[in-house]
Amino acid sequence: MALGPAGRHNLANAVFHSADADTALVHAYLMLTSNAGGGGGVVATGFYTVGLERAGGERRIAELFLGTDNAW
């Protein structure tokens, strides 16, 4: 299924599992939706694990892992 511009990654329940002055680890649930072809619906569900690091005074994504419950 081609999602194109109709695909949306909806993140929910983002939780910081650990954090210090330079790093943080965040977990969030994913619900991937699409309205491609005129019909809306859930395409996939899963979770993200995001590792953040401080760089230049800002937090930036250092690692991003996506685990899905189903293939699409």
Can you name the residues that pair with 65 across neighbouring β-strands? 49
pLDDT value at residue 48: 96
* Rounded distance between C-alpha atoms, residue 32 and residue 46, angstroms: 8
pLDDT value at residue 14: 93
- Quick: pLDDT tens for 9-22: 899 999 999 999 89
pLDDT value at residue 5: 65
In this structure, what are the phi and psi dihedrals at residue 4, rounded to the nearest 5 degrees? 50, -145
Is the separation of the CB atoms in 52 and 62 below 8 Å? yes
Task: Give the list of residues 6+ apart from residue 35 with CB closer than 8 angstroms, or none.
Answer: 6, 41
- Quick: pLDDT tens for 19-67: 998 999 999 999 999 887 777 889 899 999 999 999 888 989 999 999 9
- Sign, Cα dihedral of 24, 25, 31, 35: positive
